[in-house]
Structure 1
């Protein structure tokens, strides 16, 4: 009887152990898919994060993707050259342009206040000598007016947001910047045509000669003190300073014209790199031409007594011609082309 009870108890205990073991194994088996799923999900999230990082790293570096849009560089979300060019323009060209305008104008104003104008040694003679034809005058002003228009509108486009925008209302600024851009675009073609005609017509008179070197050494005879006072260097029809201005206008006028055409003609469908290069070349050329234009205006008006008259009427005073362009005056006397105003 005792053995039967013992055997029955052992069987019951074994059955209980088997049940407990089975339940444990079952629970383990049930928990394994959930754990594996959690691991797989975490791995997928990590891969997704890495994939997104790689994607945006490629986008920021300027890599091209796929798009159904048609055109140049439509697959590029971020153009690196465009961003770099914009930084160069804002960080360097804009302040340099401001320095060029204020610095050159201020330097010549100071020079004028200290030195004064270059007076005619023998005063005005009253005899007016023909220097420019009517065609020359028309060409000069046909180029000068759009050139000045481009300078003022260009300065507003480049510097207006610093010099004007903080002090005017939003509506006024919007009208100013829109008007400047519109006028700039329409004045450009007029300048290009007049510039090309002036270059072709006046180039034969602008070759440098050996005597031009002396003109630079004595600063053109414009200094009224020290060892330079009263020094009037030899000069032909155009003096060395005018020749330098002409060739500066010729070369940088070409650069600014070509780059301007590239910027205002969307039909060219240029790559962003080419457009940004054109914008930077346009800005650099503008800085140089603005600086030389300020010099040219100062020299032709304030610093040279009687100098502006020849661009108003085409005639200059005989004493002015002898003092500033003696070789040209001697030449027209000798070849019989000297003409006085009646």
Structure 2
């Protein structure tokens, strides 16, 4: 009898782990099956209950077009880096080969009135936030791929902690500056026939070959400035509208796909404005001798006006509105 009891206990001891394993496997299989059912229901738009009143908050997961995120990562992240650092490299190389555009007759010492104080203020109201938005936007859009591997996760996290609130706050003065510039300056940015000739000789900024010494006609704004203005007006509008969608989703109540499309439109517009901004900054500072004075004091050297904006200079001289800065 004792032998029988021992054998029975041994059989039970051997069988118990097997039974436990079988029960665990059955439980796991049931959990997987329930998970699959739940996930399928979620993907099909199953809703639940929430105290939130937003249109989409009843859905556990807000589905979106999965093609959008690769577009952001593969195209836009390197795009913003090329728009900023690529254009800087191109201009540095160009200046090393070509040199800058000097005033052929030197500085006259006479400063001609060009921009009002309010125009100068409006320019910097849009320009300073634009630069900060481009830099912080670069971190937000491409930092994970290009900045974090260089500086490390901790340093990058600290950068992002600053970049995000600065980006959000600077959006408002940027939109104000964009609106004022677009409305107030459009009258001087209308394309004209002589703008074609300006492009044909690259604005007279080339210092070698058949382009050397060319001074194409230009009014208050030359053809390059007009192209920059209309690009800024158009893509600034896209950036502003898409930015509002991203800043205030609780009021716009977009779908996940609409939010991501706004992000794509925002980023692509930023890439275009970023490239134009680098060109604009280089042309106004390093490339054009005497050009920066315009947006510092509102006045430009008389020889600069004659060389770069001759039609405008001739017009104000003829109609008696030519005004010099008093000493």
Determine which of 163, 166, 191 is the counterpart of 1:180: 163
Determine which of 257, 266, 269 is the counterpart of 1:273: 257
How far off is 1:58 after superposition?
A: 6.3
8 Å contact kept, 2:100–2:289: yes
> 1:336: which partner in 2?
320
TM-score, normalised to structure 1's length? 0.81
Paired residues, what number? 296
> 1:299: which partner in 2?
283
SS in 2 for 1:337: coil
For 1:254 and 1:192, the matched residues in 2 are separated by 8
> 1:65: which partner in 2?
46
Structure 1 unaligned blocks of 5 or more: 1-45
Alignment of 1:245-260 (within 5 A): 245-260=228-243
Determine which of 191, 195, 204 is the counterpart of 2:178: 195
SS in 1 for 2:66: helix
Alignment of 1:30-49 (within 5 A): none
Q: Does 1:283 align with 2:267?
A: yes
C-alpha distance after superposition, 1:172-226 (max 9, x if no partner)? 3322102100011001011101111111110100000000000001000000000
SS in 1 for 2:49: coil
8 Å contact kept, 1:232–1:323: yes
> 1:20: which partner in 2?
none
Q: Does 1:311 align with 2:295?
A: yes
C-alpha distance after superposition, 1:10-57 (max 9, x if no partner)? xxxxxxxxxxxxxxxxxxxxxxxxxxxxxxxxxxxx999889767645
For 1:67 and 1:224, the matched residues in 2 are separated by 69
For 1:294 and 1:286, the matched residues in 2 are separated by 12
Structure 2 unaligned blocks of 5 or more: 1-28
Change (3 A) 1:232 1:168: same
For 2:68 and 2:172, the matched residues in 1 are separated by 25
8 Å contact kept, 2:219–2:312: yes
For 2:31 and 2:161, the matched residues in 1 are separated by 46
For 2:194 and 2:208, the matched residues in 1 are separated by 22
8 Å contact kept, 1:64–1:75: no
> 2:89: which partner in 1?
106
For 1:54 and 1:339, the matched residues in 2 are separated by 79
8 Å contact kept, 1:146–1:190: yes
8 Å contact kept, 2:48–2:60: no
How far off is 1:64 after superposition?
A: 0.4
Q: Does 1:93 align with 2:93?
A: no
For 1:312 and 1:47, the matched residues in 2 are separated by 73
For 1:48 and 1:181, the matched residues in 2 are separated by 40
Higher radius of gyration, 1 or 2 = 1
> 1:42: which partner in 2?
none
C-alpha distance after superposition, 1:237-288 (max 9, x if no partner)? 0000000000000000000001001101132222112111111100010000
> 2:218: which partner in 1?
235
How far off is 1:163 after superposition?
A: 3.1
8 Å contact kept, 1:64–1:73: no
> Hey, which bits of structure 1, 4+ residues long, moved more than 6 A?
46-52
Q: Does 1:115 align with 2:98?
A: yes
> 1:164: which partner in 2?
147
For 1:51 and 1:152, the matched residues in 2 are separated by 47
